[in-house]
Protein backbone atom coordinates (compact mmCIF):
# COMPACT_ATOMS: atom_id res chain seq x y z
CA UNK A 1 0.00 0.00 0.00
CA UNK A 2 2.65 2.44 1.08
CA UNK A 3 4.54 1.89 -2.17
CA UNK A 4 1.69 2.86 -4.47
CA UNK A 5 0.84 6.00 -2.54
CA UNK A 6 4.42 7.25 -2.40
CA UNK A 7 4.98 9.79 -5.20
CA UNK A 8 7.56 9.18 -7.91
CA UNK A 9 10.92 10.95 -7.93
CA UNK A 10 10.84 13.85 -10.39
CA UNK A 11 11.43 17.60 -10.73
CA UNK A 12 8.14 18.38 -9.01
CA UNK A 13 8.95 16.19 -6.00
CA UNK A 14 12.54 17.43 -5.55
CA UNK A 15 11.52 19.86 -2.82
CA UNK A 16 10.26 16.93 -0.70
CA UNK A 17 13.69 15.30 -0.60
CA UNK A 18 15.85 15.61 2.51
CA UNK A 19 18.41 18.38 1.99
CA UNK A 20 21.40 16.00 1.83
CA UNK A 21 19.73 13.87 -0.85
CA UNK A 22 19.14 16.61 -3.42
CA UNK A 23 20.97 16.66 -6.75
CA UNK A 24 23.91 19.02 -7.25
CA UNK A 25 22.67 19.85 -10.75
CA UNK A 26 19.12 20.27 -12.01
CA UNK A 27 18.51 18.11 -15.10
CA UNK A 28 17.76 20.36 -18.05
CA UNK A 29 19.75 23.26 -16.60
CA UNK A 30 23.04 22.02 -18.10
CA UNK A 31 23.22 21.43 -21.88
CA UNK A 32 24.52 18.09 -23.10
CA UNK A 33 28.21 17.68 -23.96
CA UNK A 34 28.59 13.93 -23.38
CA UNK A 35 26.85 10.95 -24.95
CA UNK A 36 27.08 7.82 -22.83
CA UNK A 37 26.41 4.39 -24.30
CA UNK A 38 25.23 1.84 -21.70
CA UNK A 39 22.82 3.14 -19.05
CA UNK A 40 23.35 0.34 -16.53
CA UNK A 41 23.79 0.60 -12.77
CA UNK A 42 27.56 1.05 -13.03
CA UNK A 43 27.35 4.18 -15.18
CA UNK A 44 24.74 5.73 -12.92
CA UNK A 45 26.88 5.19 -9.81
CA UNK A 46 30.24 6.05 -11.42
CA UNK A 47 30.68 8.40 -14.39
CA UNK A 48 27.33 10.15 -13.78
CA UNK A 49 28.34 10.93 -10.18
CA UNK A 50 31.83 12.16 -11.14
CA UNK A 51 30.39 14.29 -13.93
CA UNK A 52 27.70 15.85 -11.79
CA UNK A 53 30.28 16.76 -9.12
CA UNK A 54 32.62 18.18 -11.79
CA UNK A 55 29.85 20.35 -13.23
CA UNK A 56 28.85 21.50 -9.74
CA UNK A 57 32.46 22.43 -8.97
CA UNK A 58 33.55 24.03 -12.22
CA UNK A 59 30.55 24.41 -14.55
CA UNK A 60 30.68 23.57 -18.24
CA UNK A 61 28.10 22.24 -20.66
CA UNK A 62 28.68 18.62 -19.79
CA UNK A 63 25.24 17.19 -19.27
CA UNK A 64 25.06 13.51 -20.26
CA UNK A 65 22.69 12.04 -22.80
CA UNK A 66 22.39 8.46 -21.59
CA UNK A 67 21.80 5.89 -24.30
CA UNK A 68 20.44 2.44 -23.44
CA UNK A 69 21.45 0.12 -26.27
CA UNK A 70 18.75 -2.50 -25.64
CA UNK A 71 16.73 -1.97 -22.47
CA UNK A 72 13.58 0.07 -23.02
CA UNK A 73 12.69 -0.15 -19.32
CA UNK A 74 15.47 2.04 -17.93
CA UNK A 75 14.65 4.71 -20.52
CA UNK A 76 10.95 4.61 -19.61
CA UNK A 77 11.74 4.76 -15.89
CA UNK A 78 14.21 7.62 -16.20
CA UNK A 79 11.90 9.55 -18.53
CA UNK A 80 9.04 9.20 -16.03
CA UNK A 81 11.39 10.61 -13.36
CA UNK A 82 12.65 13.61 -15.38
CA UNK A 83 15.96 11.72 -15.76
CA UNK A 84 16.63 11.79 -12.01
CA UNK A 85 17.85 8.72 -10.13
CA UNK A 86 19.47 8.05 -6.77
CA UNK A 87 22.65 6.37 -5.64
CA UNK A 88 22.69 4.77 -2.20
CA UNK A 89 26.20 4.44 -0.83
CA UNK A 90 26.41 1.58 1.62
CA UNK A 91 29.02 0.48 4.08
CA UNK A 92 28.33 -1.92 6.93
CA UNK A 93 25.24 -0.67 8.69
CA UNK A 94 25.35 2.87 7.31
CA UNK A 95 23.85 4.18 4.08
CA UNK A 96 23.41 7.55 2.43
CA UNK A 97 21.21 8.26 -0.57
CA UNK A 98 21.67 11.13 -3.03
CA UNK A 99 19.81 11.99 -6.22
CA UNK A 100 21.98 12.68 -9.26
CA UNK A 101 21.02 15.25 -11.90
CA UNK A 102 23.73 14.67 -14.52
CA UNK A 103 21.46 13.24 -17.21
CA UNK A 104 20.47 15.87 -19.77
CA UNK A 105 18.60 13.30 -21.85
CA UNK A 106 17.94 9.59 -22.35
CA UNK A 107 17.54 7.60 -25.55
CA UNK A 108 16.74 4.02 -26.46
CA UNK A 109 19.14 3.06 -29.26
CA UNK A 110 17.16 -0.02 -30.35
CA UNK A 111 14.03 2.11 -30.84
CA UNK A 112 15.68 5.11 -32.49
CA UNK A 113 19.26 4.45 -33.65
CA UNK A 114 19.22 7.38 -36.05
CA UNK A 115 18.70 9.77 -33.15
CA UNK A 116 21.86 8.39 -31.55
CA UNK A 117 23.82 8.68 -34.79
CA UNK A 118 22.66 12.31 -35.03
CA UNK A 119 23.80 12.96 -31.46
CA UNK A 120 27.29 11.65 -32.24
CA UNK A 121 27.42 14.15 -35.11
CA UNK A 122 26.26 17.07 -32.95
CA UNK A 123 29.01 19.71 -32.46
CA UNK A 124 27.79 20.28 -28.89
CA UNK A 125 28.78 16.70 -28.04
CA UNK A 126 32.53 16.42 -27.49
CA UNK A 127 32.90 13.25 -25.45
CA UNK A 128 31.39 9.78 -25.90
CA UNK A 129 31.76 7.43 -22.94
CA UNK A 130 31.00 3.72 -22.98
CA UNK A 131 30.01 1.06 -20.44
CA UNK A 132 28.69 -1.63 -22.75
CA UNK A 133 30.35 -4.60 -20.97
CA UNK A 134 33.11 -6.73 -22.47
CA UNK A 135 30.87 -8.49 -24.98
CA UNK A 136 29.39 -5.25 -26.35
CA UNK A 137 32.64 -4.58 -28.24
CA UNK A 138 32.24 -7.80 -30.26
CA UNK A 139 35.99 -8.36 -30.22
CA UNK A 140 37.43 -11.84 -29.94
CA UNK A 141 38.60 -11.91 -26.29
CA UNK A 142 41.83 -13.70 -27.16
CA UNK A 143 42.96 -11.93 -30.35
CA UNK A 144 41.05 -8.63 -30.25
CA UNK A 145 39.73 -9.23 -33.78
CA UNK A 146 36.26 -7.96 -34.63
CA UNK A 147 33.85 -10.91 -34.58
CA UNK A 148 31.73 -10.56 -37.67
CA UNK A 149 28.30 -12.16 -37.51
CA UNK A 150 25.24 -11.53 -39.68
CA UNK A 151 24.05 -8.66 -37.46
CA UNK A 152 27.35 -6.79 -37.56
CA UNK A 153 27.84 -7.43 -41.29
CA UNK A 154 24.39 -5.99 -41.93
CA UNK A 155 25.28 -2.93 -39.79
CA UNK A 156 28.43 -2.35 -41.80
CA UNK A 157 26.40 -2.48 -45.02
CA UNK A 158 25.23 0.96 -43.81
CA UNK A 159 21.87 0.56 -45.56
CA UNK A 160 19.76 0.08 -42.46
CA UNK A 161 19.90 1.63 -38.99
CA UNK A 162 22.66 0.07 -36.86
CA UNK A 163 21.81 -2.39 -34.09
CA UNK A 164 25.32 -3.14 -32.75
CA UNK A 165 27.61 -0.79 -30.86
CA UNK A 166 30.42 -1.06 -33.46
CA UNK A 167 27.84 -0.25 -36.16
CA UNK A 168 26.44 2.65 -34.18
CA UNK A 169 29.87 4.10 -33.42
CA UNK A 170 31.08 3.89 -37.00
CA UNK A 171 27.87 5.41 -38.34
CA UNK A 172 28.09 8.20 -35.79
CA UNK A 173 31.72 8.94 -36.64
CA UNK A 174 31.02 8.93 -40.40
CA UNK A 175 28.14 11.34 -39.82
CA UNK A 176 30.31 13.55 -37.60
CA UNK A 177 33.01 13.70 -40.26
CA UNK A 178 30.44 14.62 -42.93
CA UNK A 179 29.00 17.31 -40.68
CA UNK A 180 32.49 18.59 -39.85
CA UNK A 181 31.25 18.73 -36.27
CA UNK A 182 34.64 19.07 -34.59
CA UNK A 183 36.90 16.98 -32.37
CA UNK A 184 35.61 14.14 -30.24
CA UNK A 185 36.92 11.82 -27.54
CA UNK A 186 35.69 8.22 -27.36
CA UNK A 187 36.33 7.01 -23.81
CA UNK A 188 35.85 3.35 -22.97
CA UNK A 189 34.98 2.77 -19.31
CA UNK A 190 34.80 -1.01 -19.51
CA UNK A 191 37.02 -3.56 -17.77
CA UNK A 192 39.07 -4.42 -20.84
CA UNK A 193 42.85 -4.32 -21.19
CA UNK A 194 44.02 -1.22 -23.09
CA UNK A 195 40.36 -0.28 -23.47
CA UNK A 196 41.15 2.90 -25.41
CA UNK A 197 43.29 1.06 -27.92
CA UNK A 198 40.62 -1.64 -28.22
CA UNK A 199 37.85 0.75 -29.10
CA UNK A 200 40.13 2.54 -31.58
CA UNK A 201 40.94 -0.82 -33.16
CA UNK A 202 37.26 -1.73 -33.24
CA UNK A 203 36.50 1.45 -35.20
CA UNK A 204 39.45 0.83 -37.55
CA UNK A 205 38.44 -2.78 -38.18
CA UNK A 206 34.81 -1.84 -38.81
CA UNK A 207 35.86 1.02 -41.07
CA UNK A 208 38.09 -1.27 -43.14
CA UNK A 209 34.98 -3.23 -44.11
CA UNK A 210 33.23 -0.15 -45.48
CA UNK A 211 34.34 0.95 -48.94
CA UNK A 212 34.98 4.55 -50.00
CA UNK A 213 34.33 7.43 -47.56
CA UNK A 214 37.20 9.55 -48.82
CA UNK A 215 38.70 11.84 -46.23
CA UNK A 216 37.31 9.90 -43.26
CA UNK A 217 40.58 8.30 -42.17
CA UNK A 218 42.43 11.61 -42.17
CA UNK A 219 39.61 13.24 -40.23
CA UNK A 220 39.50 10.37 -37.71
CA UNK A 221 43.27 10.52 -37.13
CA UNK A 222 43.24 14.30 -36.68
CA UNK A 223 40.00 14.80 -34.75
CA UNK A 224 39.13 11.76 -32.63
CA UNK A 225 41.02 10.43 -29.61
CA UNK A 226 40.59 7.12 -27.79
CA UNK A 227 42.22 7.47 -24.36
CA UNK A 228 42.36 4.53 -21.98
CA UNK A 229 40.80 4.56 -18.53
CA UNK A 230 40.51 2.48 -15.40
CA UNK A 231 37.15 2.54 -13.63
CA UNK A 232 36.34 1.11 -10.23
CA UNK A 233 33.32 0.94 -7.94
CA UNK A 234 31.37 -2.10 -6.83
CA UNK A 235 27.82 -1.58 -8.03
CA UNK A 236 25.68 -4.72 -8.06
CA UNK A 237 22.53 -5.06 -10.15
CA UNK A 238 19.66 -3.33 -8.36
CA UNK A 239 17.12 -5.49 -6.52
CA UNK A 240 13.74 -4.74 -4.91
CA UNK A 241 15.72 -4.06 -1.71
CA UNK A 242 17.67 -1.31 -3.54
CA UNK A 243 14.42 0.40 -4.53
CA UNK A 244 12.88 -0.01 -1.05
CA UNK A 245 15.93 1.53 0.59
CA UNK A 246 15.91 4.47 -1.82
CA UNK A 247 12.19 5.05 -1.25
CA UNK A 248 12.67 5.00 2.51
CA UNK A 249 15.55 7.49 2.32
CA UNK A 250 13.94 9.83 -0.21
CA UNK A 251 10.24 9.74 0.60
CA UNK A 252 9.66 9.23 -3.12
CA UNK A 253 9.84 6.10 -5.25
CA UNK A 254 12.86 5.74 -7.54
CA UNK A 255 12.54 3.03 -10.19
CA UNK A 256 16.11 3.63 -11.40
CA UNK A 257 17.80 3.54 -7.99
CA UNK A 258 21.23 1.94 -7.68
CA UNK A 259 23.44 1.10 -4.70
CA UNK A 260 27.17 0.67 -4.34
CA UNK A 261 30.18 0.82 -2.07
CA UNK A 262 31.71 4.14 -0.91
CA UNK A 263 35.02 3.45 -2.69
CA UNK A 264 35.41 4.78 -6.20
CA UNK A 265 38.30 5.36 -8.55
CA UNK A 266 38.68 6.70 -12.10
CA UNK A 267 42.05 7.02 -13.85
CA UNK A 268 41.79 8.66 -17.27
CA UNK A 269 44.35 9.36 -19.99
CA UNK A 270 44.06 13.08 -20.61
CA UNK A 271 43.43 13.32 -24.37
CA UNK A 272 40.37 15.49 -24.88
CA UNK A 273 40.72 17.74 -27.95
CA UNK A 274 37.16 19.01 -27.52
CA UNK A 275 37.55 19.61 -23.76
CA UNK A 276 36.17 17.66 -20.82
CA UNK A 277 34.48 18.13 -17.45
CA UNK A 278 36.81 18.98 -14.56
CA UNK A 279 36.62 15.37 -13.38
CA UNK A 280 39.77 15.85 -11.30
CA UNK A 281 37.73 18.08 -8.98
CA UNK A 282 35.57 15.02 -8.29
CA UNK A 283 38.62 12.91 -7.46
CA UNK A 284 39.49 11.40 -10.85
CA UNK A 285 43.17 11.05 -11.73
CA UNK A 286 44.14 12.43 -15.13
CA UNK A 287 47.33 10.89 -16.44
CA UNK A 288 49.45 10.12 -19.50
CA UNK A 289 49.20 6.36 -19.08
CA UNK A 290 46.41 4.50 -17.33
CA UNK A 291 48.02 1.14 -18.19
CA UNK A 292 49.63 0.35 -14.81
CA UNK A 293 46.38 1.16 -12.97
CA UNK A 294 44.32 -0.81 -15.40
CA UNK A 295 46.50 -3.94 -15.22
CA UNK A 296 46.61 -3.72 -11.43
CA UNK A 297 42.84 -3.48 -11.21
CA UNK A 298 41.95 -6.09 -13.82
CA UNK A 299 44.38 -8.71 -12.57
CA UNK A 300 43.94 -8.11 -8.85
CA UNK A 301 40.41 -6.84 -8.17
CA UNK A 302 38.62 -8.40 -11.11
CA UNK A 303 40.75 -11.56 -11.09
CA UNK A 304 39.99 -12.16 -7.41
CA UNK A 305 36.34 -11.22 -7.97
CA UNK A 306 35.93 -13.84 -10.70
CA UNK A 307 37.75 -16.44 -8.61
CA UNK A 308 35.47 -15.89 -5.60
CA UNK A 309 32.42 -15.82 -7.88
CA UNK A 310 33.10 -19.25 -9.48
CA UNK A 311 34.28 -20.95 -6.31
CA UNK A 312 31.51 -19.36 -4.26
CA UNK A 313 28.72 -20.18 -6.72
CA UNK A 314 29.86 -23.82 -6.94
CA UNK A 315 29.93 -23.93 -3.12
CA UNK A 316 26.34 -22.63 -3.07
CA UNK A 317 27.14 -19.16 -1.71
CA UNK A 318 24.76 -16.46 -2.84
CA UNK A 319 27.01 -13.40 -2.45
CA UNK A 320 30.68 -12.51 -2.80
CA UNK A 321 30.83 -11.56 0.90
CA UNK A 322 29.39 -14.95 1.90
CA UNK A 323 31.80 -16.78 -0.42
CA UNK A 324 34.74 -14.96 1.14
CA UNK A 325 33.81 -16.55 4.47
CA UNK A 326 34.50 -20.06 3.21
CA UNK A 327 37.48 -21.24 5.30
CA UNK A 328 40.63 -20.98 3.21
CA UNK A 329 39.10 -18.62 0.60
CA UNK A 330 40.76 -15.46 1.90
CA UNK A 331 44.09 -17.27 2.22
CA UNK A 332 43.84 -18.68 -1.31
CA UNK A 333 43.04 -15.24 -2.73
CA UNK A 334 45.85 -13.61 -0.75
CA UNK A 335 48.28 -16.17 -2.13
CA UNK A 336 46.92 -15.72 -5.67
CA UNK A 337 47.70 -12.00 -5.45
CA UNK A 338 51.07 -12.34 -3.68
CA UNK A 339 52.46 -15.34 -5.55
CA UNK A 340 51.02 -14.90 -9.06
CA UNK A 341 49.58 -11.44 -9.72
CA UNK A 342 52.26 -9.34 -8.00
CA UNK A 343 55.05 -10.80 -10.09
CA UNK A 344 53.10 -10.30 -13.33
CA UNK A 345 52.91 -6.52 -13.37
CA UNK A 346 54.60 -3.25 -12.55
CA UNK A 347 52.19 -1.38 -10.24
CA UNK A 348 51.75 2.40 -10.38
CA UNK A 349 54.46 4.26 -8.43
CA UNK A 350 54.09 3.90 -4.68
CA UNK A 351 51.41 1.19 -4.85
CA UNK A 352 51.96 -2.25 -3.35
CA UNK A 353 50.11 -5.01 -5.19
CA UNK A 354 49.81 -7.05 -1.99
CA UNK A 355 48.44 -4.05 -0.08
CA UNK A 356 46.01 -3.28 -2.89
CA UNK A 357 44.91 -6.93 -2.86
CA UNK A 358 44.25 -6.81 0.89
CA UNK A 359 42.14 -3.67 0.51
CA UNK A 360 40.16 -5.31 -2.29
CA UNK A 361 39.35 -8.28 -0.03
CA UNK A 362 38.14 -5.90 2.67
CA UNK A 363 35.84 -4.22 0.15
CA UNK A 364 34.47 -7.58 -1.01
CA UNK A 365 33.83 -8.63 2.60
CA UNK A 366 31.17 -5.96 3.23
CA UNK A 367 27.86 -7.87 3.42
CA UNK A 368 25.86 -4.67 2.81
CA UNK A 369 26.85 -4.69 -0.87
CA UNK A 370 25.21 -8.12 -1.53
CA UNK A 371 26.90 -8.67 -4.89
CA UNK A 372 25.66 -12.00 -6.26
CA UNK A 373 28.28 -14.59 -7.18
CA UNK A 374 26.19 -15.53 -10.22
CA UNK A 375 26.24 -11.94 -11.49
CA UNK A 376 30.03 -11.70 -11.37
CA UNK A 377 30.24 -15.22 -12.88
CA UNK A 378 28.49 -14.06 -16.06
CA UNK A 379 30.35 -13.77 -19.37
CA UNK A 380 33.41 -15.67 -18.16
CA UNK A 381 34.78 -16.18 -21.67
CA UNK A 382 34.94 -12.40 -22.08
CA UNK A 383 36.57 -11.83 -18.71
CA UNK A 384 39.08 -14.64 -18.15
CA UNK A 385 41.79 -13.42 -20.54
CA UNK A 386 42.48 -10.04 -18.93
CA UNK A 387 41.63 -11.17 -15.39
CA UNK A 388 43.65 -14.39 -15.22
CA UNK A 389 45.18 -15.62 -18.47
CA UNK A 390 47.44 -12.60 -18.96
CA UNK A 391 48.75 -13.18 -15.45
CA UNK A 392 49.44 -16.82 -16.32
CA UNK A 393 51.14 -15.93 -19.60
CA UNK A 394 53.40 -13.35 -17.93
CA UNK A 395 54.32 -15.69 -15.10
CA UNK A 396 55.07 -18.52 -17.52
CA UNK A 397 57.27 -16.20 -19.57
CA UNK A 398 59.21 -15.58 -16.35
CA UNK A 399 59.57 -19.32 -15.79
CA UNK A 400 57.14 -19.51 -12.85
CA UNK A 401 54.30 -21.98 -12.22
CA UNK A 402 51.23 -19.87 -11.39
CA UNK A 403 49.39 -22.33 -9.22
CA UNK A 404 46.72 -20.03 -7.83
CA UNK A 405 45.87 -18.51 -11.17
CA UNK A 406 45.41 -22.08 -12.41
CA UNK A 407 42.89 -22.56 -9.59
CA UNK A 408 40.84 -19.68 -11.02
CA UNK A 409 40.78 -21.30 -14.47
CA UNK A 410 39.80 -24.62 -12.89
CA UNK A 411 37.04 -22.89 -10.90
CA UNK A 412 35.63 -21.45 -14.14
CA UNK A 413 35.81 -24.89 -15.78
CA UNK A 414 34.02 -26.38 -12.79
CA UNK A 415 31.34 -23.66 -12.86
CA UNK A 416 30.50 -23.89 -16.56
CA UNK A 417 29.63 -27.57 -16.14
CA UNK A 418 26.43 -26.23 -14.61
CA UNK A 419 26.13 -27.97 -11.23
CA UNK A 420 26.95 -26.70 -7.76
CA UNK A 421 28.53 -29.02 -5.19
CA UNK A 422 25.06 -29.68 -3.74
CA UNK A 423 23.72 -30.61 -7.19
CA UNK A 424 21.83 -27.36 -7.81
CA UNK A 425 21.82 -26.08 -11.41
CA UNK A 426 24.07 -23.09 -12.15
CA UNK A 427 23.21 -20.73 -15.03
CA UNK A 428 25.62 -20.38 -17.94
CA UNK A 429 25.15 -16.80 -19.04
CA UNK A 430 27.84 -16.21 -21.64
CA UNK A 431 27.92 -15.26 -25.34
CA UNK A 432 29.84 -18.50 -25.99
CA UNK A 433 27.47 -20.67 -23.91
CA UNK A 434 26.41 -22.69 -26.97
CA UNK A 435 29.99 -23.48 -27.88
CA UNK A 436 30.90 -24.39 -24.30
CA UNK A 437 27.96 -26.79 -24.06
CA UNK A 438 28.93 -28.38 -27.37
CA UNK A 439 32.50 -28.92 -26.21
CA UNK A 440 31.41 -30.33 -22.86
CA UNK A 441 28.91 -32.69 -24.43
CA UNK A 442 31.75 -34.47 -26.23
CA UNK A 443 34.16 -34.35 -23.30
CA UNK A 444 32.85 -36.92 -20.81
CA UNK A 445 33.10 -36.12 -17.12
CA UNK A 446 36.75 -36.82 -16.30
CA UNK A 447 38.59 -33.58 -15.32
CA UNK A 448 41.34 -34.13 -17.90
CA UNK A 449 38.75 -34.47 -20.69
CA UNK A 450 36.81 -31.41 -19.53
CA UNK A 451 40.00 -29.34 -19.38
CA UNK A 452 41.09 -30.59 -22.79
CA UNK A 453 37.73 -29.64 -24.32
CA UNK A 454 37.67 -26.16 -22.78
CA UNK A 455 41.35 -25.34 -23.48
CA UNK A 456 40.30 -25.87 -27.12
CA UNK A 457 38.17 -22.69 -27.04
CA UNK A 458 40.56 -20.51 -29.00
CA UNK A 459 38.51 -17.35 -28.46
CA UNK A 460 39.54 -17.66 -24.80
CA UNK A 461 42.82 -19.57 -24.63
CA UNK A 462 45.66 -18.56 -26.96
CA UNK A 463 47.31 -21.57 -28.63
CA UNK A 464 50.57 -21.13 -26.68
CA UNK A 465 48.83 -21.21 -23.33
CA UNK A 466 46.55 -24.10 -24.28
CA UNK A 467 49.63 -26.11 -25.29
CA UNK A 468 51.55 -25.38 -22.08
CA UNK A 469 51.83 -28.69 -20.21
CA UNK A 470 52.67 -27.03 -16.90
CA UNK A 471 49.54 -24.91 -17.00
CA UNK A 472 47.38 -27.82 -18.08
CA UNK A 473 48.71 -30.05 -15.32
CA UNK A 474 48.05 -27.38 -12.67
CA UNK A 475 44.52 -26.79 -13.93
CA UNK A 476 43.71 -30.50 -14.12
CA UNK A 477 45.06 -31.03 -10.62
CA UNK A 478 42.75 -28.34 -9.20
CA UNK A 479 39.80 -29.44 -11.29
CA UNK A 480 40.24 -32.99 -10.03
CA UNK A 481 40.29 -31.77 -6.42
CA UNK A 482 37.21 -29.58 -6.95
CA UNK A 483 35.40 -32.44 -8.64
CA UNK A 484 36.23 -35.08 -6.08
CA UNK A 485 36.10 -33.13 -2.86
CA UNK A 486 34.08 -29.98 -3.60
CA UNK A 487 35.11 -26.35 -3.11
CA UNK A 488 35.00 -26.26 0.68
CA UNK A 489 37.21 -29.31 1.18
CA UNK A 490 39.61 -28.13 -1.52
CA UNK A 491 40.08 -24.75 0.14
CA UNK A 492 40.03 -26.04 3.70
CA UNK A 493 43.72 -26.74 3.87
CA UNK A 494 44.89 -23.44 2.35
CA UNK A 495 46.68 -21.15 4.76
C1 LIG B 1 32.83 -7.48 -11.51
C2 LIG B 1 32.97 -5.99 -11.82
O3 LIG B 1 30.83 -8.13 -12.52
C4 LIG B 1 32.06 -8.24 -12.56
O5 LIG B 1 32.63 -8.93 -13.37
O6 LIG B 1 34.10 -8.02 -11.34
O7 LIG B 1 31.79 -5.44 -12.30
C8 LIG B 1 33.46 -5.20 -10.60
O9 LIG B 1 32.45 -5.13 -9.60
C10 LIG B 1 33.88 -3.81 -10.98
O11 LIG B 1 34.84 -3.88 -11.99
C12 LIG B 1 34.42 -3.05 -9.77
O13 LIG B 1 35.00 -1.88 -10.20
Ligand 1 site, residue 233, Cβ cutoff 6 A? yes
Q: Read off the pLDDT of residues 341-373 as tens digits, 9 standing for 90 and up.
A: 999 999 999 999 999 999 999 999 999 999 999
The Å distance, Cα 387 to ligand 1 centre, comes to 11
Mutation test of ligand 1: which of 45, 191, 374 has the most ligand atoms closer than 8 Å to its C-beta? 191
Residue nearest to atom 13 of ligand 1 (CA): 232
Ligand 1 site, residue 297, Cβ cutoff 6 A? no
Summarize the confidence of residues 9-37 as an average pLDDT.
Answer: 96
With a cut of 50, say whether residue 325 has pLDDT above it: yes
- What's the rounded Cα separation, in Å, for the pair 62 and 49? 12
Residue nearest to atom 6 of ligand 1 (CA): 302
Closest-lying ligand 1 atom to the alpha carbon of residue 376: 3
Ligand 1 site, residue 304, Cβ cutoff 6 A? no
Cβ(110)–Cβ(70) under 8 Å?
A: yes
Q: What b-and-e string marks burial along 383-411, b requiring 16 or more CB atoms within 10 Å of the CB?
A: bbbbbbbbbbbbbbeeebebbbbbbbbbb
Residue nearest to atom 4 of ligand 1 (CA): 376
- What's the rounded Cα separation, in Å, for the pair 86 and 19? 14
With a cut of 60, say whether residue 3 has pLDDT above it: no
Mutation test of ligand 1: which of 133, 294, 301, 302 has the most ligand atoms closer than 8 Å to its C-beta? 302
Closest-lying ligand 1 atom to the alpha carbon of residue 231: 13
Q: Read off the pLDDT of residues 221-241 as tens digits, 9 standing for 90 and up.
A: 999 999 999 999 999 999 999
Distance of CA 324 to the CA centre of its chain: 21
pLDDT at residue 4, as a whole number: 60
Q: Read off the pLDDT of residues 149-193 as tens digits, 9 standing for 90 and up.
A: 999 999 999 889 999 999 999 999 999 999 999 999 999 999 999
The Å distance, Cα 302 to ligand 1 centre, comes to 6
Predicted confidence band of residue 1 (pLDDT cuts 50, 70, 90): very low
Q: What b-and-e string marks burial along 419-439, b requiring 16 or more CB atoms within 10 Å of the CB?
A: ebbeeeebebebbbbeebeeb
Residue nearest to atom 9 of ligand 1 (CA): 234
Amino acid sequence: MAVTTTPLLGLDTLSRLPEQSRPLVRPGAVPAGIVHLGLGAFHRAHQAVYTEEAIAAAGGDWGIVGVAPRSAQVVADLTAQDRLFSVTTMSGATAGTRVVGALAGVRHAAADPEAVVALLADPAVRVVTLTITEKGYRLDPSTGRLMLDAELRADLGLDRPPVTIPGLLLRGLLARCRADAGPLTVLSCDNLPSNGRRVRSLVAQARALVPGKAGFDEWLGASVTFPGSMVDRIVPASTPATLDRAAAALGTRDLAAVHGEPYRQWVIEDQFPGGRPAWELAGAVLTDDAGPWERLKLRTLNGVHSAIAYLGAVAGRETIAAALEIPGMRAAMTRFVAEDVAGSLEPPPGVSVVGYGASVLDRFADPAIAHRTRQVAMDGTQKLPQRVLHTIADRRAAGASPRWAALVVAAWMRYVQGRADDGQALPLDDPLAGLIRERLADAGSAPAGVAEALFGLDAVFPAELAADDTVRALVVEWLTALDRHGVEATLAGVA
